[in-house]
Amino acid sequence: MTILKLDATEDTPYVFFDAQNGIFDISKRSLPENAIVFYEQLLIFINNYKSLPAPETKVNFHFDYLNTSSIKQLMKVILLFDQLATSTKVFVTWCYDKGDTDMFQTGQRFEKLTSLSFDYKEI
């Protein structure tokens, strides 16, 4: 499977992973009842990708709302890219709505816990 595409719902995010081109987009809101179950498929996909990554990996986040259980799972996602960054190029873009300082800070906290450097975009 080289593509994972999930449409956004009221409480789960839009996901577009393209392994061949090294594109990983997650956006909208993430507040599912069971974040572990939702993020499991994402983690499996990224783990597989790590064994045969594209020359460059572009990760884009743009969240509207995140509950803390999603934040916990997202940390795992980001840590996988952090591991990948030791062998290939990984670019992380953290987008947030104009004026959403909470979401900006969430990005900064993630960044602090990795050796990645995030590119911030206020949209």
Partner 1 sequence: MFKLLNSYQLSYAYHGAFTSTLTDKILALSETNLDVESESLKIKKKVYFIIVESLQNLTRHKSTEIDLTDAESFFSIHKLKDGYLVGSANTIENDKILPLSEKLDKVNSLNQEDLKNYQHEVLSASGFSEKGGAGLGLIEMVRKSGNKLSYGFEKINEKNSYFYFQTKITDISANIGSNEITYNHQIIKTIHKVVHENNLKVFFQGQFKHENVKSLLSMAEISMYLTENFAFRKTAVSIMIELLQNIAFHAAGINNNDDRPGMFMVSNKGNVCSFITGNYVTDVKLAELSKKLEHVNSLNDIEITDLYLETLVLENDDSNNSAGLGFVDIRAKSKNKIELDIHPFSDDKKFVIIKANINY
Residues that bind partner 1 (CB under 8 A): 10-11, 31, 33-37, 65-69, 71-72, 75, 97-103, 109-110, 112-113
C-alpha pair distances (Å), 87 with each of 30, 100, 108: 30, 33, 23
Compute the least distance from the CB of residue 8 to partner 1, in Å: 14
Q: Which is nearer to partner 1, 14 or 65 (CB)?
A: 65
In the chain, count H helices and then E strands: 3, 6
Rounded Cα distance between 34 and 90, Å, is 28
Compute the least distance from the CB of residue 71 to partner 1, in Å: 6
Cβ-count burial of 25 within 10 angstroms (0-12 exposed, 13-18 middle, 19+ buried)? Answer: middle
Q: Which is nearer to partner 1, 39 or 45 (CB)?
A: 39
Compute the least distance from the CB of residue 58 to partner 1, in Å: 24
